[in-house]
Amino acid sequence: MQLETTTVDIGTSRPLVLLNTVDADELGAHPLDRVRIEHDDGTTTGIVKRTDELVEAGSVGVTEPLHHVSGTVNVTLAGTPKSVRYVRKKLDDVELEASELETIVRDIHENRLSDVELSAYVSSVYTNGLSLEETKHLTEAMSGVGQRLSWESPVVADKHSIGGVAGNCVTPIMVAIVTAAGLTMPKTSSRAVTSPAGTADVMEVLCDVEFTIAEIESIVAETNGCLVWGGGVDLSPVDDEIIRAENPLSIDPPGQLIASVLSKKRSAGSTHIVIDIPYGEGAKVESLVAARELADDFKRVGDHLEVDVSCAITHGTDPIGRGVGPALEARDVLAVLEGEGPESLRLKSLRLADMLLTHCGVDASATEILESGEALERFRRIIAAQGGDPEIESDDLEPGAESTTIHADRSGVVTRVDNRQLCDLARRAGAPLDSRAGLVIHQTATNQIETGDPLYTIHAETPAKLTEAERLADRLEPIRVRSKADALVERR
């Protein structure tokens, strides 16, 4: 069928095409069917959306991913991708072969799956899990798509945390220490997806984080490392699409998590990686047994990829640091590098940095590098190379001016600090989009407190967002205070 293209200003991740119902009926196209679009520059596949009003008969509306298609085109029905059959197999809990996983990855990358089909894949993995062999094959397939970084150094250090802990911004401190020790550590990091701040969001408070591959190579040549946004260099792009489908469901199944992390690390050219696995109530991994199983699988998949992986199982019940949100976490990072800062953030950064140095075969002390000022000097060099102010200090970073402090309404002991609730509050206050929004945490578990002591302070950039955060705070109890008399937990 010959149709005239018309651009539809709808930003979608999938290549949707809008067909008038008259043309759709003649073509035999139902909602979410695929059509093949032959145009001057080649052939493209689109996913059908039927409409009576948005486009006229004789026209085909192309959304943002297909804006390169123009003029008169030939539209025909296309068959269902093979990967849909393999997704159904996984829904039936049938183990997939390497070639079948490769097909799914390729079709995701080439936008051949609808949002429904992609969600079905994610649901199948969540429900039925991935075997170790499936995880190995999936990681290989995902790292084979998109760009790859390569480095002259035979040892390229890297670190990743599986997340779930508020204020856990140890990465910038580790990069400063490890690169000061002479190792190469080109750190590509994510922006926040469901948290109040990703490492890239924190660094963006201090300097630019979006660079081309050539620019990243120049920064690393000058400083031994970098702290940049990985999304700007198209490393394992299929992972971004899968995360987009996982987000609304708030799921992150272990096999997919491993494939997500290691495919990006392999694409970044990393050879020696430390994986931080926090566990405990409120963390992504709640038991020590599950944390150990995940660590073992990380190492097995790493061995398969010929990447040297070591895992740190850490406590994930309490926040790390005091700030939650981009500017507040950046302030904590600088304070630690300056010789002050929250002790919990300092200690965890040093332990993980020592572990990574040893893992890479370097005989150096993270504590000595930090206390000598070498780490701070290296961090300032990285900030300058990424277009920031190398003279910035922690005191220069002010949180949002709109603030309120929540106080204890009883005396007693802090029995729990809930990471999830703290993150929810920081996001309601505006983080990470509002970089100066977030929380400052005043108490940790086991602290003895009196009535009226400060528990946490909410910072926002606008009065409206502060009000929203206050309303949520009224319904939550992120810092739980109990007296000895509170022995009875529940009566049913």
**Alpha-carbon separation of residue 439 from 59, 415, 443 (angstroms):** 51, 19, 12
Task: Write b or e for each residue in 226-239: b if 16 or more Cβ atoms lie within 10 A of its Cβ, otherwise e.
Answer: bbbbbbbbebbbbb
3-state secondary structure the chain: CEEEEEECCCCCCCCEEEEEHHHHHHHCCCCCCEEEEEECCEEEEEEEEEECCCCCCCEEEECHHHCCCCCEEEEEEECCCHHHHHHHHHHCCCCCCHHHHHHHHHHHHCCCCCHHHHHHHHHHHHHHCCCHHHHHHHHHHHHCCECCCCCCCCCEEEEEECCCCCCCCCHHHHHHHHHHCCCEEEEEECCCCCCCCCHHHHHHCCCCCCCCHHHHHHHHHHHCEEEEEHHHHCECHHHHHHHHHHHHHCCCCHHHHHHHHHHHHHHCCCCEEEEEEEECCCCCECCHHHHHHHHHHHHHHHHHHCCEEEEEEEECCCCCCCEECHHHHHHHHHHHHCCCCCHHHHHHHHHHHHHHHHHCCCCCCHHHHHHCCHHHHHHHHHHHHCCCCCCCCHHHCCCCCEEEEEECCCCEEEEEECHHHHHHHHHHCCCCCCCCCEEEECCCCCCEECCCCEEEEEEECCHHHHHHHHHHHHHCCCEEEECCCCCCCCCC
Other C-beta atoms closer than 10 Å to the C-beta of 453 total: 15
Relative to beta strand 323-324, strand 225-229 is unpaired
442 contacts 459 by C-beta, under 8 angstroms:
no
d(CA 264, CA 236): 5
Query: Which residues are designated catalytic?
Result: 252
d(CA 221, CA 211): 14
Other C-beta atoms closer than 10 Å to the C-beta of 89 total: 14
Cβ neighbors of 68 (< 8 A, separation 6 or more) are 41
